Amino acid sequence: MNTLFLTQILQFKKNIYQKSDANPDSTVWIWSGLTQALKMKDILSLKIKDKSFIFNRLPKGQKVQMNFLGLIAFVWISLSATTISAAAVKLVNTRAEYKANPIGIDVLHPRLSWEATTDARNILQTAYEIKAALSEADLQAGKNLIWTTGKINSGQSNQVKYAGKELASGQRVFWQVRVWSNNDNGSPWSDIAFWEMGLLNASDWKAPWIEPAVNVDTGKSSPSPYLRREFELTKNVKKAQLYITSHGLYECHINGKKTGDQLLTPGWTSYNKRLQYQVYDVTASLKKGKNAIGAVLGDGWYSGYLVWKGNRNAYGKKLGLLAQLTITYDDGTQETVSTDSQWKSTTGPILESDIYNGEIYDARMELKGWDNPGYDEKNWKGVVVLNEDKKNLVASAGPPVKAIQEIKPIKILYTPQGDTVLDMGQNMVGWARIKVTGKAGTKITLRHAEVLDKKGNFYTDNLRLAKQTVQYTLKGIGEEVYEPHFTFQGFRFLAVKNFPGTLKLENITGVVVHSDMPVTGSFECSDPLINQLAHNILWGQKGNFVDVPTDCPQRDERLGWTGDAQVFAPTACYNMDVASFFTKWMRDVEADQFKDGSVPWVIPDVIKQGGATGWADVAVIIPWTIYQFYGDTGILSIQYQSMKAWVDYMQKQTGSSYIWTNGNHFGDWLAFATTNSDYPGATTDKDFIATAYFAYSTSLLHKAAAVLGKKEDAKKYETLYQNIKMAFQKEFVTSNARLSSSTQTAYLLALEFNLLTEAQQQMVAKRLADDVKKFKHLTTGFLGTPLICPVLSKYGYDSLAFMLLKRKEYPSWLYPITRGATTIWERWDGMKPDSSFQDIGMNSFNHYSYGAIGYWLFTRVAGLSLNNDAPGFKKISIHPVVGGDLTSVAAEHKSMYGKIVSGWKVEKNKFTMNVVIPPNTTAEVFIPSGTKENIFENGVAVSSVKLIKFLESKEGGQVYLVGSGSYNFEVRKN
Ligand code: BGC
């Protein structure tokens, strides 16, 4: 019925055009009437009785243009509005466990989500129906369904748990969903989506581990082993799935081609407890007859250099491979090709490869055809077959690492010291692809650096022991294209040595590598320096979200520092879809958590120390953050024991005093330091910080327990929190609301973690403001910095927050930008005003922690934030603050419900706000500087727009409740 109707409209449009060919003016005229009529359908579909609302929505002047034919069309379409709008809700972005059509998941009841799209306003889902089957044909025919929900009256479109038949290893489930809304008769079914289960039991792994029988000196980097095996398939292949993982990193090849586009597989986890496998659909790579499968292995995080002391072999000394290729023939019979004694091994052109140090590759040693059938492997050695259990194998939960984008160098420089250096124009993480022609044996060396020193020379001292060097020896046959395999570098500058002929920009491409997380946020405003800051924050995230959230991507560290991750997590959630990235990493937090509940400094734990306040709290803070941003209660329940163990650990440390005075802490790491004897630096007492975080994590645990319906725990941790708060006030707060540490960070923690009485709050906020005024800059380190602008804003000091944001001198966010930064620096003065550098022991130019200001840019400057009453942006709060001399701001965030937009613009006689709210959500919109009378929406007085509900007048503006749709608010100045 709907399709028929739409076809009629299309035909109608066509007729109108054809008939009016002779008179172009009438085309516009008639067309305009029809277009208006089409627009009307969504207005009418909202069942609006108020006609003035309808007509006021017409763009000015067009009402009178509607001719007779247009009018008929208008009436015709209007009368059918309900029918059209029923077809207008379309479901998109159907995902399982945050992924589109994932293969190889081991969550037994995957969580499904979908988004509705429609231009109509105020659309809320009222019901949904899901059906699932084991084949597309069955799903379409509605036969043999393994799950059918029937019509469920619910607004839930996210985190809907599969509750059908128990699933077995390797099963692919096809599913569809349709919804009903407050305004239609049901959407069409979504396009068919699927997910596929991985290997759910250790016993599903029939293949044994193998190790190459090549000699290796495990005390240093050795040539990468190559492994191969041929096999014959006797029939046509219907489906082939490869399950594969390794000790070390692997690159798999089938019949001459690399399998898939994932990089640095199997990723980095706490290998001994959790080793990820990947699943590839390799149906198209196989053929009837002879086939070859092979793999190259690299040391990677498993046995390469890791942690800064030149340590190796963190997880084991020998590289190994485990692969199981399950082939289903057209006739339904199955065959498996696995790692076994028939594999052969050797070494080849990769002479050394290491995460920190780079790669040495001699193209003359390439094993031409090694990954194709028919290759002569007579000089290859055998393999050692191991009898190892598979209990630590887990499916890959996070997004895979991939080559996400490419950038071209912007110029070639010749340094005073004689280096030829390419400037990529962007501090990036990944590697350089070289295109070169030259004589066999020519050795090209690429060194990587983030900055040049003040004389313009290539600067690598801050890399510490990481060589970050790639060496390529030409084979001398035609044009050679090379990129490294098992390493990545953090660099903007590339020193190229011994390039044959003249090096040109087109010889090098920067390949940007990170976890494949969709970008979900953008922030732009009228100040180019702040835009560069937003850019730097995003690039800090790209560079440091390479399978685990790392502190830095360049020096001999690159570790999953927990404190850095927790302070940056909310900003990370705005910028990119990090739900599955953190889901995966938090499993390692739990896996590596110490028996007594203490949490390691870094995850995966390769340092074996932990319990630092503000760092270990990651166990509680990130699950809570993911719950808030994605409405994900699953992560709370999965991590609950880990969250609890950390809080219980702290309680044991503090006993009945509730004041935490022992342990090793980093404190407010890298806070402002000075040699000024009058003010020796902004050092916040560690006992103060530790007790504040103890309270904070306890308060979040209390909330998590409440969300999960764990009433007893909720009560227990609420009481504990109150006890800590009381003890905190007694110990650290004077009767006049002075704090024992008079630092910005101390004020911030006390305020943000709600550790003061109401009366004390304003006094402490004023002390904070006074301190900021006194210094005219922030003095905070890793723990205080994320809070400073949000807390100043919360207590009415927006102008001070803007002052901090806009400051260009050290210490500030914009200072590095005045020095040309394209990523966030580890230290406020990584490069000092005189262009000398900070201490080489710790000076990364790509560290995301201070990028946590991104959260305030989104939530306050753009005013796009969560409403804590309904997590996951089911309810949205739009509350921008105009300040900092900005004249416009535009921000977007793609939530689980779709795109949210919040933008504002100050113009001569008006202030405008552009807001987009996705279907199935509602938003409270604060319109600054307006009185009820001078606010208009799409040219209509807001008070007469029925679907915009006035809520309250607040200081400085008005608050409205709106449903989904696009809104153009305007505050007219008298
Ligand atoms: C890292 C930091 C980390 C810190 C802890 C440093 O080496 O780069 O980001 O949080 O150690 O002290």
Cβ atoms of 91 and 158 within 8 Å: the answer is no
**Residue 777 amino acid letter:** H
Kindly report, residue by residue over 825-876, the tens digit of the pLDDT.
999 999 999 999 999 999 999 999 999 999 999 999 999 999 988 999 999 9
Element (H, E) at 638: helix 633-654
Q: How many whole angstroms from 561 Cα to the centroid of ligand 1? A: 6
DSSP state of 925: E
**Strand, coil or helix: 426:** strand
pTM of full prediction above 0.85: yes
Read off the pLDDT of residues 925-953 as tens digits, 9 standing for 90 and up. Answer: 999 977 889 999 999 999 999 899 999 99
pLDDT for residue 202 is more than 60: yes
Nearest protein CA to atom 7 of ligand 1, as residue: 842
DSSP annotation of 77? H
Q: Does residue 421 carry a pLDDT above 80?
A: yes
Distance of CA 462 from the midpoint of ligand 1 (Å): 14
Which atom number of ligand 1 is nearest to the Cα of residue 849?
9
Q: How far apart are CA 417 and CA 920, in angstroms?
A: 61
Ligand 1 touching residue 916 (CB < 6 A): no
CA distance readout (Å), 227 to 248, 294, 299, 316: 14, 5, 15, 19
Give the residue among 361, 308, 355 at the shortest CA–CA distance from 489: 355
Q: In whole angstroms, what separates CA 359 from the centre of its chain?
A: 28
Nearest to 657 by CA among 687, 684, 626: 687
Segment 266-324, tens digit of pLDDT: 999 999 999 999 999 999 999 999 999 999 999 999 999 999 777 999 999 999 999 99
Å from CA of 357 to ligand 1 middle: 20
Q: What is the pLDDT of residue 974?
A: 65
| Number of CB atoms found within 10 A of residue 363's CB | 18
Per-residue pLDDT at 60: 34
CB 307, CB 466: distance < 8 Å: no
pLDDT given at position 81: 33
Q: Characterise 892 by phi-psi region: left (phi > 0), alpha (psi -120 to 50), beta (else).
A: beta
- Judge if the beta carbon of residue 551 lies within 6 A of ligand 1: yes
Indicate if ligand 1 lies below 6 Å from the C-beta of 842: yes
User: In sequence order, what are the beta bridge partners of 436?
Assistant: 480
> Ligand 1 in contact with 561 (CB < 6 A)?
yes
Q: Place 14 in a pLDDT band, splitting at 50, 70 and 90.
A: very low
Cα 541 to middle of ligand 1, angstroms:
16
Q: Express each pLDDT in 501-516 by its tens digit.
A: 999 999 999 999 999 9
Contact criterion met (CB below 8 Å) for 347 and 224: yes
Which of the listed residues 561, 606, 613, 843 should we mutate to test ligand 1's pocket, taking the one with most ligand atoms within 8 A of CB? 561
Q: What is the pLDDT of residue 673?
A: 85
The answer to whether the bond into 266 is cis (omega within 30° of 0) is yes
Predicted confidence (pLDDT) at residue 59 exceeds the cutoff of 70: no
Is residue 652 exposed (0-12), middle (13-18) or buried (19+ Cβ within 10 Å)?
A: exposed
Helix (H, G, I), strand (E, B) or coil at 149: coil
Sole residue written with tokens 């790579």 = 285
Nearest Cα neighbor of 121 from 85, 77, 167, 146 is 85
Atom of ligand 1 nearest to the CA of 666: 12
Q: Evaluate: CB of 666 within 6 angstroms of ligand 1.
A: yes
Residue count (the chain): 974
On average, the pLDDT of the chain sits at 91
* Ligand 1 atom 3, closest CA: 561
Q: How confident is the model at residue 675 (pLDDT cuts 50, 70, 90)?
A: confident
pLDDT band at 955 (very low <50, low <70, confident <90, very high): confident
CB neighbour list of residue 53: distance below 8 Å, 6 or more residues apart: 43, 940, 944, 945, 946
If you ran DSSP here, which 8-state letter would residue 537 be given? H
List active site positions: 557, 826
Using alpha carbons only, what angle is made at residue 137 by residues 134 and 140, rounded to the nearest 5 degrees?
100
Range of weakest confidence among 42-51, 680-689, 805-814: 42-51
Residue 921 has pLDDT above 70, yes or no: yes
Ligand 1 atom closest to residue 551's alpha carbon, by position in its atom list: 9
Ligand 1 pocket member 778 (CB < 6 A): no
- Cα–Cα separations (whole angstroms), residue 666 to 663, 782, 866: 10, 10, 30
Cα separation, 190 vs 187, whole angstroms: 8
- Token pair recorded at residue 818: 């005045």
Over residues 585-628, the pLDDT tens digits come to: 999 999 999 999 999 999 999 999 999 999 999 999 999 999 99
Q: Mutation test of ligand 1: which of 551, 838, 848 has the most ligand atoms closer than 8 Å to its C-beta? A: 551
Residue 45 pLDDT grade (very low, low, confident, very high; cuts 50, 70, 90): very low
848 lines ligand 1 (CB under 6 A): no
Tell me, in angstroms, the distance from the centre of ligand 1 to residue 429's CA. Answer: 19
From atom 8 of ligand 1, which residue's Cα is the shortest distance away? 551
| Dist CA 248 CA 321 (whole Å) | 9
Nearest-CA residue for ligand 1 atom 1 is: 551
Are the CB atoms for 915 and 938 separated by under 8 Å? no
Q: Is the CB of 567 under 6 A from ligand 1?
A: no
Output the pLDDT for position 282.
98
The H or E element spanning position 815 is helix 815-818
Ligand 1 centroid, distance to 551 Cα (angstroms): 7
Query: 360 CB contacts (<8 Å, ≥6 apart)?
Result: 350, 351, 352, 353, 470, 471
What's the 602 CA to ligand 1 centre distance in angstroms?
Answer: 9
Residue 569 near residue 582 (C-beta atoms within 8 A): yes
Report CA-CA distances (Å) from 609 to 308, 312, 664, 743.
15, 18, 9, 28
Ligand 1 centroid to Cα of residue 925, in Å, is 39
Ligand 1 atom closest to 669 (CA): 12
Residues facing 548 on adjacent strands: 546
Residue 552 CB–ligand 1 contact under 6 Å: yes
What does residue 934 show for φ and ψ, rounded to 5 degrees?
-100, 20
Q: Quick: pLDDT tens for 117-132.
A: 998 999 999 999 999 9
> Does residue 31 surpass a pLDDT of 50?
no
Among the atoms of ligand 1, which is closest to the Cα of residue 562?
10
